[in-house]
Amino acid sequence: MRQKLAAGNWKMNGTQDQLGMLAQVPPSQPGCEVLICPPAQLLIPAVQQALGRLSIGAQDCHAQAPGAHTGDLSASMIADTGARYVILGHSERRQAHGETDALIQAKAAAAIDAGLCPIICIGESHAQRINGQALDVIQDQLRLSLPDHLTQAPSVIAYEPIWAIGTGLIPSLDQITKAHSAIRAHLRQRFGAPGNDVRLLYGGSVKPDNAAQIFACPEVDGALVGGASLSAEDFGPIITALAAA
């Protein structure tokens, strides 16, 4: 039985005053974990203020061991903050930082080796969706960005269609179901039975008013939430909908 996961990706938002919302968010409960991924400067105070009620994660890590990489954080440094997760390969990093599947695979391997749970993001562009290439794109990203030892530790995959991020658009429930089913089939084929343990999140314009129907889709174990995770008023009902799903 996979534990559900409501994950908030704050992206490049938040100074210390934003941490007040951590006390207002419904806490993790058996069967439904709540995770906040703040920007890096808030990791340590977030871990301290979450008091174990919530899990805390980072939004990126470097693939290499500590060394001469100005401005970067290694997976071991992230783990040292008390964070337990790290988002990798978000489309904003793939696009704005030129991150390739091979780099994301190396980062995921480093995260696992540091004891972190990677949340590996995949998803097609609007043009790829329109051209009927969505499932092929997903398969390629899975094949190239997942490390071979993915299932030796807990891991998460987030399906985030690029055209649904921050736009208010979401795929049809049928499109979400088909994408998640394809991801699960890939995991089973490549990793065998342990492929069933990887949690699959949907991400892209998840809001209080669409969360319940998304969570009712097969193989959707939770959500990776951007804008709506910045306020307890919006994130709270999403967490409640997931716990009830």
Tally Cβ neighbours within 10 Å of residue 67: 8
Query: Does the annotation count 180 as an active-site position?
Result: no
- Give strand ranges (E) for 48-191: 55-58, 85-88, 117-122, 156-159
User: Which residues sit at the interface with ligand 13P, rule CB under 6 A?
Assistant: 9, 90, 160, 165-166, 203-206, 224-228
Nearer to ligand 13P, 10 or 191 (CB): 10
Q: Minimum Å distance from CB 235 to ligand 13P?
A: 10
Residue 59 CA, chain-centre distance (Å), reads 9
Nearer to ligand 13P, 194 or 208 (CB): 208
Q: Between the CA of residue 220 and those of 76, 109, 132, 147, 217, what are the distances in Å?
A: 30, 24, 22, 22, 6
Q: Minimum Å distance from CB 91 to ligand 13P?
A: 7
Q: Minimum Å distance from CB 187 to ligand 13P?
A: 20
In the set 90, 124, 186, 219, the catalytic residue is 90
Distance in angstroms (rounded) separating the CA atoms of residues 178 and 220: 11
Nearer to ligand 13P, 107 or 191 (CB): 107
Nearer to ligand 13P, 165 or 191 (CB): 165
Query: Does the annotation count 90 as an active-site position?
Result: yes
Nearer to ligand 13P, 41 or 231 (CB): 231
CB-based contacts of 239, cutoff 8 Å, min separation 6: 6, 25, 26, 32, 34
| Cβ atoms of 78 and 43 closer than 8 Å | yes
Q: Minimum Å distance from CB 245 to ligand 13P?
A: 18
| Residue facing ligand 13P at closest CB distance | 226
| Cβ atoms of 81 and 47 closer than 8 Å | yes
In the set 160, 180, 186, 219, the catalytic residue is 160
- What is the number of residues in the chain? 245
Q: Minimum Å distance from CB 207 to ligand 13P?
A: 8
- Secondary element (H or E) of residue 233: helix 232-244
Q: Which residues are marked as active site? A: 90, 160
